[in-house]
Protein backbone atom coordinates (compact mmCIF):
# COMPACT_ATOMS: atom_id res chain seq x y z
CA UNK A 1 0.00 0.00 0.00
CA UNK A 2 1.46 3.37 -0.98
CA UNK A 3 2.46 5.84 1.73
CA UNK A 4 0.94 9.29 1.41
CA UNK A 5 3.39 12.24 1.37
CA UNK A 6 2.70 15.88 2.11
CA UNK A 7 3.88 18.28 -0.62
CA UNK A 8 4.63 21.79 0.61
CA UNK A 9 7.25 23.13 -1.83
CA UNK A 10 7.86 23.22 -5.61
CA UNK A 11 11.10 23.39 -7.53
CA UNK A 12 11.92 27.03 -8.32
CA UNK A 13 13.17 26.06 -11.80
CA UNK A 14 10.77 23.46 -13.20
CA UNK A 15 7.84 24.06 -10.76
CA UNK A 16 7.58 20.36 -9.97
CA UNK A 17 6.28 19.40 -6.47
CA UNK A 18 8.99 18.42 -3.94
CA UNK A 19 8.93 15.96 -1.11
CA UNK A 20 11.57 17.10 1.42
CA UNK A 21 13.56 14.89 3.69
CA UNK A 22 12.48 14.85 7.33
CA UNK A 23 15.87 16.19 8.46
CA UNK A 24 15.00 19.60 6.93
CA UNK A 25 12.35 20.04 9.61
CA UNK A 26 14.78 20.04 12.60
CA UNK A 27 17.73 22.45 12.10
CA UNK A 28 19.54 24.16 14.92
CA UNK A 29 19.82 27.92 15.34
CA UNK A 30 23.61 27.79 14.88
CA UNK A 31 23.22 26.00 11.54
CA UNK A 32 20.77 28.63 10.38
CA UNK A 33 23.20 31.41 11.45
CA UNK A 34 26.02 29.80 9.47
CA UNK A 35 23.78 29.41 6.45
CA UNK A 36 22.88 33.08 6.69
CA UNK A 37 26.51 34.04 5.93
CA UNK A 38 27.29 35.00 2.30
CA UNK A 39 28.26 32.04 0.16
CA UNK A 40 30.60 34.12 -2.09
CA UNK A 41 33.31 36.30 -0.68
CA UNK A 42 32.85 38.82 -3.51
CA UNK A 43 29.24 39.82 -4.17
CA UNK A 44 30.20 41.22 -7.58
CA UNK A 45 30.64 37.76 -9.06
CA UNK A 46 28.09 37.46 -11.87
CA UNK A 47 26.22 34.34 -12.70
CA UNK A 48 24.35 35.70 -15.68
CA UNK A 49 25.74 32.96 -17.87
CA UNK A 50 24.50 30.40 -15.36
CA UNK A 51 21.08 32.02 -15.16
CA UNK A 52 20.67 32.16 -18.91
CA UNK A 53 21.73 28.51 -19.16
CA UNK A 54 18.81 27.43 -16.96
CA UNK A 55 15.70 26.91 -19.07
CA UNK A 56 12.37 28.24 -17.74
CA UNK A 57 13.98 30.07 -14.81
CA UNK A 58 11.35 31.63 -12.50
CA UNK A 59 11.49 34.34 -9.83
CA UNK A 60 12.16 33.39 -6.18
CA UNK A 61 9.45 31.62 -4.29
CA UNK A 62 8.84 32.73 -0.71
CA UNK A 63 6.64 30.60 1.44
CA UNK A 64 6.89 33.02 4.35
CA UNK A 65 4.94 35.62 2.31
CA UNK A 66 2.36 33.17 0.95
CA UNK A 67 -1.16 33.16 2.25
CA UNK A 68 -2.27 30.09 0.41
CA UNK A 69 -3.49 32.05 -2.64
CA UNK A 70 -0.14 33.07 -4.21
CA UNK A 71 0.96 32.66 -7.80
CA UNK A 72 2.05 29.06 -7.24
CA UNK A 73 -1.41 28.01 -6.17
CA UNK A 74 -0.38 25.61 -3.33
CA UNK A 75 -2.05 25.45 0.06
CA UNK A 76 -0.96 23.50 3.09
CA UNK A 77 -3.61 20.95 4.03
CA UNK A 78 -3.35 18.85 7.20
CA UNK A 79 -5.53 17.34 9.88
CA UNK A 80 -6.14 18.90 13.28
CA UNK A 81 -3.80 16.68 15.22
CA UNK A 82 -0.54 17.81 13.53
CA UNK A 83 -1.34 21.48 12.92
CA UNK A 84 1.12 22.96 15.38
CA UNK A 85 4.01 20.62 14.61
CA UNK A 86 3.61 20.80 10.84
CA UNK A 87 3.38 24.58 10.92
CA UNK A 88 6.64 24.82 12.84
CA UNK A 89 8.37 22.44 10.47
CA UNK A 90 7.08 24.37 7.45
CA UNK A 91 8.30 27.67 8.90
CA UNK A 92 11.73 26.18 9.63
CA UNK A 93 12.09 24.89 6.09
CA UNK A 94 10.85 28.17 4.60
CA UNK A 95 13.42 30.13 6.67
CA UNK A 96 16.12 27.75 5.50
CA UNK A 97 15.25 28.18 1.79
CA UNK A 98 14.81 31.95 2.15
CA UNK A 99 18.27 32.21 3.68
CA UNK A 100 19.80 30.15 0.91
CA UNK A 101 18.00 32.19 -1.78
CA UNK A 102 18.98 35.57 -0.28
CA UNK A 103 22.66 34.61 0.05
CA UNK A 104 23.08 33.22 -3.48
CA UNK A 105 22.08 33.89 -7.07
CA UNK A 106 19.96 30.73 -7.15
CA UNK A 107 16.49 30.42 -5.67
CA UNK A 108 15.74 27.41 -3.51
CA UNK A 109 14.49 24.76 -3.20
CA UNK A 110 15.49 22.79 -6.29
CA UNK A 111 14.72 19.29 -7.40
CA UNK A 112 17.46 16.70 -7.90
CA UNK A 113 17.64 17.16 -11.66
CA UNK A 114 17.82 20.95 -11.48
CA UNK A 115 20.39 20.68 -8.71
CA UNK A 116 22.53 18.40 -10.89
CA UNK A 117 22.25 20.82 -13.79
CA UNK A 118 23.26 23.74 -11.56
CA UNK A 119 26.11 21.69 -10.14
CA UNK A 120 27.44 20.96 -13.66
CA UNK A 121 27.27 24.65 -14.57
CA UNK A 122 29.14 25.66 -11.43
CA UNK A 123 31.78 22.99 -12.08
CA UNK A 124 32.26 24.41 -15.56
CA UNK A 125 32.59 27.95 -14.16
CA UNK A 126 35.05 26.65 -11.58
CA UNK A 127 37.22 25.10 -14.30
CA UNK A 128 37.20 28.35 -16.26
CA UNK A 129 38.15 30.35 -13.19
CA UNK A 130 40.91 27.84 -12.34
CA UNK A 131 42.37 28.15 -15.89
CA UNK A 132 42.31 31.95 -15.66
CA UNK A 133 44.05 31.80 -12.30
CA UNK A 134 46.75 29.61 -13.77
CA UNK A 135 47.28 32.03 -16.69
CA UNK A 136 47.52 35.04 -14.39
CA UNK A 137 49.89 33.15 -12.06
CA UNK A 138 52.18 32.19 -14.95
CA UNK A 139 52.23 35.78 -16.19
CA UNK A 140 52.99 36.99 -12.65
CA UNK A 141 55.89 34.58 -12.31
CA UNK A 142 57.20 35.74 -15.69
CA UNK A 143 57.11 39.35 -14.57
CA UNK A 144 58.93 38.52 -11.37
CA UNK A 145 61.74 36.85 -13.30
CA UNK A 146 62.27 39.87 -15.59
CA UNK A 147 64.92 42.53 -14.81
CA UNK A 148 63.03 45.80 -14.26
CA UNK A 149 66.05 48.16 -14.02
CA UNK A 150 65.44 50.91 -16.64
CA UNK A 151 68.08 51.98 -19.20
CA UNK A 152 68.14 55.79 -18.84
CA UNK A 153 70.20 56.52 -21.94
CA UNK A 154 68.08 54.30 -24.09
CA UNK A 155 64.93 55.91 -22.76
CA UNK A 156 66.32 59.46 -23.33
CA UNK A 157 67.31 58.57 -26.87
CA UNK A 158 63.88 57.11 -27.44
CA UNK A 159 62.30 60.27 -25.98
CA UNK A 160 64.37 62.49 -28.27
CA UNK A 161 63.40 60.41 -31.27
CA UNK A 162 59.80 60.73 -30.27
CA UNK A 163 60.14 64.52 -29.94
CA UNK A 164 61.71 64.73 -33.38
CA UNK A 165 58.95 62.56 -34.76
CA UNK A 166 56.39 64.81 -33.06
CA UNK A 167 57.87 67.97 -34.64
CA UNK A 168 57.97 66.29 -38.02
CA UNK A 169 54.38 65.20 -37.70
CA UNK A 170 53.37 68.74 -36.61
CA UNK A 171 55.01 70.22 -39.72
CA UNK A 172 53.37 67.58 -41.85
CA UNK A 173 50.06 68.35 -40.17
CA UNK A 174 50.44 72.07 -40.99
CA UNK A 175 51.26 71.17 -44.57
CA UNK A 176 48.24 68.92 -44.72
CA UNK A 177 46.10 71.72 -43.25
CA UNK A 178 47.25 74.09 -45.98
CA UNK A 179 46.54 71.43 -48.58
CA UNK A 180 43.14 70.87 -46.99
CA UNK A 181 42.36 74.60 -47.26
CA UNK A 182 43.38 74.50 -50.93
CA UNK A 183 41.24 71.44 -51.47
CA UNK A 184 38.32 73.10 -49.70
CA UNK A 185 38.68 76.11 -51.99
CA UNK A 186 38.73 73.78 -54.99
CA UNK A 187 35.67 72.01 -53.64
CA UNK A 188 33.80 75.30 -53.27
CA UNK A 189 34.70 76.27 -56.84
CA UNK A 190 33.68 72.82 -58.05
CA UNK A 191 30.38 73.09 -56.16
CA UNK A 192 29.67 76.44 -57.80
CA UNK A 193 30.47 74.93 -61.19
CA UNK A 194 28.27 71.97 -60.33
CA UNK A 195 25.39 74.27 -59.40
CA UNK A 196 25.83 76.14 -62.67
CA UNK A 197 25.89 72.90 -64.63
CA UNK A 198 22.84 71.65 -62.73
CA UNK A 199 20.97 74.81 -63.66
CA UNK A 200 22.00 74.46 -67.31
CA UNK A 201 21.06 70.78 -67.25
CA UNK A 202 17.66 71.60 -65.81
CA UNK A 203 17.18 74.27 -68.47
CA UNK A 204 18.25 71.82 -71.16
CA UNK A 205 15.94 69.18 -69.72
CA UNK A 206 12.95 71.55 -69.84
CA UNK A 207 13.77 72.55 -73.41
CA UNK A 208 14.31 68.92 -74.37
CA UNK A 209 10.99 67.94 -72.80
CA UNK A 210 9.26 70.76 -74.64
CA UNK A 211 10.79 69.79 -77.99
CA UNK A 212 10.14 66.10 -77.29
CA UNK A 213 6.49 66.89 -76.62
CA UNK A 214 6.26 68.94 -79.80
CA UNK A 215 7.91 66.09 -81.70
CA UNK A 216 5.46 63.56 -80.30
CA UNK A 217 2.53 65.83 -81.18
CA UNK A 218 3.93 66.29 -84.68
CA UNK A 219 4.44 62.54 -85.06
CA UNK A 220 0.89 61.90 -83.83
CA UNK A 221 -0.45 64.48 -86.28
CA UNK A 222 1.67 62.97 -89.05
CA UNK A 223 0.37 59.48 -88.27
CA UNK A 224 -3.16 60.84 -88.12
CA UNK A 225 -2.76 62.57 -91.46
CA UNK A 226 -1.13 59.46 -92.89
CA UNK A 227 -4.08 57.36 -91.72
CA UNK A 228 -6.52 59.90 -93.11
CA UNK A 229 -4.63 59.93 -96.41
CA UNK A 230 -4.65 56.13 -96.54
CA UNK A 231 -8.36 56.11 -95.75
CA UNK A 232 -9.09 58.75 -98.40
CA UNK A 233 -7.00 56.83 -100.95
CA UNK A 234 -8.83 53.62 -100.12
CA UNK A 235 -12.15 55.41 -100.46
CA UNK A 236 -10.96 56.96 -103.74
CA UNK A 237 -9.92 53.53 -105.04
CA UNK A 238 -13.24 52.14 -103.89
CA UNK A 239 -15.10 54.94 -105.63
CA UNK A 240 -13.03 54.45 -108.77
CA UNK A 241 -13.89 50.77 -108.75
CA UNK A 242 -17.52 51.39 -107.87
CA UNK A 243 -19.93 51.28 -110.81
CA UNK A 244 -22.74 53.74 -110.34
CA UNK A 245 -25.13 51.61 -112.39
CA UNK A 246 -24.55 48.52 -110.22
CA UNK A 247 -25.02 50.57 -107.08
CA UNK A 248 -28.08 52.45 -108.28
CA UNK A 249 -29.89 49.67 -110.09
CA UNK A 250 -29.90 46.24 -108.46
CA UNK A 251 -31.66 43.72 -110.71
CA UNK A 252 -32.32 40.32 -109.19
CA UNK A 253 -35.18 37.93 -108.62
CA UNK A 254 -37.55 36.94 -105.84
CA UNK A 255 -39.08 33.56 -106.66
CA UNK A 256 -41.02 33.88 -109.93
CA UNK A 257 -40.70 37.67 -109.96
CA UNK A 258 -37.98 39.76 -111.48
CA UNK A 259 -36.99 42.65 -109.15
CA UNK A 260 -35.28 45.97 -109.60
CA UNK A 261 -34.18 47.70 -106.40
CA UNK A 262 -36.35 45.18 -104.51
CA UNK A 263 -39.51 46.20 -106.39
CA UNK A 264 -41.32 43.20 -107.91
CA UNK A 265 -42.40 43.50 -111.52
CA UNK A 266 -45.46 41.32 -112.25
CA UNK A 267 -48.45 39.70 -110.59
CA UNK A 268 -49.50 36.15 -109.83
CA UNK A 269 -52.79 34.76 -108.56
CA UNK A 270 -50.97 33.31 -105.58
CA UNK A 271 -49.01 36.55 -104.99
CA UNK A 272 -51.09 39.58 -105.91
CA UNK A 273 -48.44 42.31 -105.93
CA UNK A 274 -49.80 45.76 -105.21
CA UNK A 275 -49.96 48.04 -108.26
CA UNK A 276 -48.02 50.79 -106.47
CA UNK A 277 -45.03 48.41 -106.27
CA UNK A 278 -45.38 47.42 -109.95
CA UNK A 279 -45.57 51.07 -111.00
CA UNK A 280 -42.46 51.89 -108.92
CA UNK A 281 -40.60 48.98 -110.58
CA UNK A 282 -41.57 50.32 -114.05
CA UNK A 283 -40.30 53.77 -113.04
CA UNK A 284 -36.89 52.30 -112.03
CA UNK A 285 -36.79 50.29 -115.29
CA UNK A 286 -37.50 53.36 -117.42
CA UNK A 287 -34.83 55.36 -115.55
CA UNK A 288 -32.24 52.61 -116.11
CA UNK A 289 -32.88 52.27 -119.86
CA UNK A 290 -32.81 56.05 -120.27
CA UNK A 291 -29.42 56.23 -118.48
CA UNK A 292 -27.98 53.38 -120.57
CA UNK A 293 -29.13 55.08 -123.77
CA UNK A 294 -27.34 58.29 -122.78
CA UNK A 295 -24.15 56.31 -122.09
CA UNK A 296 -24.10 54.86 -125.61
CA UNK A 297 -25.32 58.12 -127.23
CA UNK A 298 -28.58 56.53 -128.33
CA UNK A 299 -31.60 58.55 -129.35
CA UNK A 300 -34.68 56.38 -129.61
CA UNK A 301 -36.67 56.45 -132.82
CA UNK A 302 -40.32 57.41 -132.48
CA UNK A 303 -40.24 57.24 -128.67
CA UNK A 304 -38.86 59.24 -125.73
CA UNK A 305 -38.62 57.74 -122.27
CA UNK A 306 -39.80 60.02 -119.47
CA UNK A 307 -38.83 58.51 -116.02
CA UNK A 308 -41.26 59.94 -113.48
CA UNK A 309 -41.24 57.54 -110.53
CA UNK A 310 -44.39 55.42 -110.28
CA UNK A 311 -46.04 57.60 -112.96
CA UNK A 312 -43.40 57.25 -115.70
CA UNK A 313 -44.54 57.30 -119.29
CA UNK A 314 -43.33 57.07 -122.90
CA UNK A 315 -43.91 59.97 -125.24
CA UNK A 316 -44.70 59.10 -128.89
CA UNK A 317 -42.68 61.59 -130.95
CA UNK A 318 -44.69 63.33 -133.67
CA UNK A 319 -48.07 62.20 -132.37
CA UNK A 320 -48.21 64.02 -129.05
CA UNK A 321 -49.41 60.93 -127.22
CA UNK A 322 -48.23 59.75 -123.80
CA UNK A 323 -48.23 56.06 -123.05
CA UNK A 324 -48.38 55.44 -119.28
CA UNK A 325 -45.97 52.89 -117.77
CA UNK A 326 -48.24 52.36 -114.81
CA UNK A 327 -51.55 50.67 -114.17
CA UNK A 328 -54.43 50.95 -111.79
CA UNK A 329 -55.94 47.45 -112.03
CA UNK A 330 -59.39 46.33 -113.30
CA UNK A 331 -60.79 43.65 -115.56
CA UNK A 332 -58.21 42.66 -118.14
CA UNK A 333 -60.80 42.44 -120.96
CA UNK A 334 -61.75 46.06 -120.36
CA UNK A 335 -58.18 47.15 -119.75
CA UNK A 336 -56.95 50.47 -121.05
CA UNK A 337 -54.74 49.47 -124.00
CA UNK A 338 -52.41 52.44 -123.42
CA UNK A 339 -50.59 50.52 -120.67
CA UNK A 340 -50.01 47.57 -123.02
CA UNK A 341 -48.89 49.96 -125.78
CA UNK A 342 -46.42 51.59 -123.35
CA UNK A 343 -44.90 48.21 -122.44
CA UNK A 344 -44.62 47.28 -126.16
CA UNK A 345 -42.94 50.67 -126.83
CA UNK A 346 -40.51 50.06 -123.92
CA UNK A 347 -39.60 46.68 -125.41
CA UNK A 348 -38.99 48.41 -128.78
CA UNK A 349 -36.65 50.93 -127.07
CA UNK A 350 -34.74 48.06 -125.47
CA UNK A 351 -34.40 46.46 -128.91
CA UNK A 352 -32.98 49.73 -130.28
CA UNK A 353 -30.45 49.77 -127.43
CA UNK A 354 -29.42 46.20 -128.29
CA UNK A 355 -28.91 47.15 -131.97
CA UNK A 356 -26.84 50.23 -130.95
CA UNK A 357 -24.54 48.12 -128.76
CA UNK A 358 -24.11 45.50 -131.48
CA UNK A 359 -22.72 48.18 -133.81
CA UNK A 360 -19.93 48.72 -131.26
CA UNK A 361 -19.42 45.16 -130.05
CA UNK A 362 -20.16 42.43 -132.58
CA UNK A 363 -20.00 39.77 -129.85
CA UNK A 364 -22.68 41.36 -127.73
CA UNK A 365 -26.00 39.57 -127.47
CA UNK A 366 -28.97 39.32 -125.15
CA UNK A 367 -30.19 35.99 -123.75
CA UNK A 368 -33.81 36.52 -124.82
CA UNK A 369 -34.96 37.59 -128.29
CA UNK A 370 -37.45 40.47 -128.48
CA UNK A 371 -39.84 41.12 -131.37
CA UNK A 372 -43.13 43.05 -131.59
CA UNK A 373 -44.08 42.93 -127.95
CA UNK A 374 -42.98 39.37 -127.34
CA UNK A 375 -39.93 37.80 -125.67
CA UNK A 376 -38.76 34.40 -126.74
CA UNK A 377 -37.00 31.85 -124.54
CA UNK A 378 -34.36 30.31 -126.82
CA UNK A 379 -33.94 27.26 -124.57
CA UNK A 380 -37.58 26.20 -124.86
CA UNK A 381 -38.68 28.12 -127.95
CA UNK A 382 -41.68 29.57 -126.11
CA UNK A 383 -42.67 33.20 -126.61
CA UNK A 384 -44.29 35.36 -123.92
CA UNK A 385 -46.27 38.52 -124.57
CA UNK A 386 -45.41 41.72 -122.76
CA UNK A 387 -49.08 42.73 -122.83
CA UNK A 388 -51.44 41.99 -119.98
CA UNK A 389 -54.65 42.00 -122.05
CA UNK A 390 -55.71 38.55 -123.28
CA UNK A 391 -52.76 37.11 -121.36
CA UNK A 392 -52.33 35.16 -118.15
CA UNK A 393 -50.64 36.76 -115.18
CA UNK A 394 -48.08 33.94 -115.10
CA UNK A 395 -46.93 34.51 -118.72
CA UNK A 396 -46.95 38.29 -118.29
CA UNK A 397 -44.80 37.99 -115.14
CA UNK A 398 -42.33 35.67 -116.91
CA UNK A 399 -42.07 38.10 -119.88
CA UNK A 400 -41.27 40.94 -117.46
CA UNK A 401 -38.65 38.73 -115.76
CA UNK A 402 -36.97 38.09 -119.14
CA UNK A 403 -37.15 41.83 -119.85
CA UNK A 404 -35.25 42.61 -116.63
CA UNK A 405 -32.68 39.93 -117.49
CA UNK A 406 -31.94 41.60 -120.84
CA UNK A 407 -31.64 44.94 -119.04
CA UNK A 408 -29.16 43.41 -116.59
CA UNK A 409 -27.01 42.18 -119.48
CA UNK A 410 -27.10 45.61 -121.08
CA UNK A 411 -26.15 47.14 -117.73
CA UNK A 412 -23.22 44.70 -117.42
CA UNK A 413 -21.92 45.61 -120.88
CA UNK A 414 -22.04 49.35 -120.20
CA UNK A 415 -20.31 48.82 -116.85
CA UNK A 416 -17.53 46.82 -118.51
CA UNK A 417 -16.95 49.61 -121.03
CA UNK A 418 -16.74 52.49 -118.58
CA UNK A 419 -15.24 50.92 -115.43
CA UNK A 420 -12.80 48.49 -117.08
CA UNK A 421 -14.03 45.72 -114.86
CA UNK A 422 -14.73 42.22 -115.90
CA UNK A 423 -18.43 41.51 -115.55
CA UNK A 424 -19.83 38.03 -115.31
CA UNK A 425 -22.53 38.09 -117.96
CA UNK A 426 -23.90 34.79 -116.81
CA UNK A 427 -25.26 36.36 -113.63
CA UNK A 428 -28.67 36.94 -115.20
CA UNK A 429 -31.97 36.02 -113.66
CA UNK A 430 -32.70 32.35 -114.07
Range of the domain at 162: 152-241
Considering 241, 276, 309, which residue would you say is the last residue of a domain? 241
Assigned domain for 280 exists: yes
What's the angle, vertex CA 232, arms to CA 227 and CA 238, rounded to 5?
Answer: 125
Assigned domain for 2 exists: no
Residues 111 and 83 in one domain: yes
pLDDT of residue 185: 93
pLDDT tens, position by position, 225-260: 999 999 999 888 887 777 777 778 888 888 888 899
CB 220 within 8 A of CB 266: no
pLDDT of residue 26: 63
Assigned domain for 180 exists: yes
pLDDT of residue 373: 83
Task: Tell me the pairing of strands 368-371 and 251-254.
Answer: unpaired
Residues 112 and 227 in one domain: no
Residues 307 and 214 in one domain: no
pLDDT of residue 248: 80
Q: Which residues of the chain have pLDDT under 50?
A: 1-2, 5, 41-84, 331, 333, 421-430
Whole-angstrom distance, CA of residue 289 vs CA of residue 260: 12
Asked whether the CA dihedral 320, 321, 326, 327 is positive or negative, the reply is positive
Residues 109 and 231 in one domain: no
Whole-angstrom distance, CA of residue 79 vs CA of residue 234: 116
Residues 263 and 212 in one domain: no
Residues 367 and 265 in one domain: yes
Whole-angstrom distance, CA of residue 182 vs CA of residue 200: 27
Q: For 390, left (φ over 0), alpha (ψ -120 to 50), or beta? A: left
Number of domains observed in the structure of the chain: 3
Whole-angstrom distance, CA of residue 278 vs CA of residue 283: 9
Q: Helix %, strand %, coil % for the chain, to 5?
A: 55, 10, 35
For 172, the enclosing helix (H) or strand (E) is: helix 152-241
Residues 178 and 297 in one domain: no
pLDDT of residue 212: 94
Residues 214 and 255 in one domain: no
Residues 279 and 399 in one domain: yes
CB 394 within 8 A of CB 355: no
CA atoms within 13 A on the CB side of 415: 22
Whole-angstrom distance, CA of residue 60 vs CA of residue 106: 8
pLDDT tens, position by position, 100-151: 777 667 777 878 788 888 888 889 999 999 999 999 998 888 877 765 666 7
Considering 115, 142, 169, which residue would you say is the last residue of a domain? 142
Phi, psi dihedrals of residue 211, rounded to the nearest 5°? -65, -35
Whole-angstrom distance, CA of residue 32 vs CA of residue 24: 11
pLDDT of residue 64: 43
Amino acid sequence: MDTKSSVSFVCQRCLQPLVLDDTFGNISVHALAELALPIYANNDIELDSQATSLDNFVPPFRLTDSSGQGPNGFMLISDGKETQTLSAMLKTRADLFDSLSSNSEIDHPLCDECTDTLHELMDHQLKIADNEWKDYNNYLQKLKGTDDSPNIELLEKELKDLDDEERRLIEELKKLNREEEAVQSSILAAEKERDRLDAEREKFRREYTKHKRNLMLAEDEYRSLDCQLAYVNSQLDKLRKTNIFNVTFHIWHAGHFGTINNFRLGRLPSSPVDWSEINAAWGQTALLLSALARKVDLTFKKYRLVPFGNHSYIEVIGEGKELPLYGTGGFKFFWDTKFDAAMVAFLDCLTQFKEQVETVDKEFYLPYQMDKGKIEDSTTGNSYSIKIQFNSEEQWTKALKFLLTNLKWGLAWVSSQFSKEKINLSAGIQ
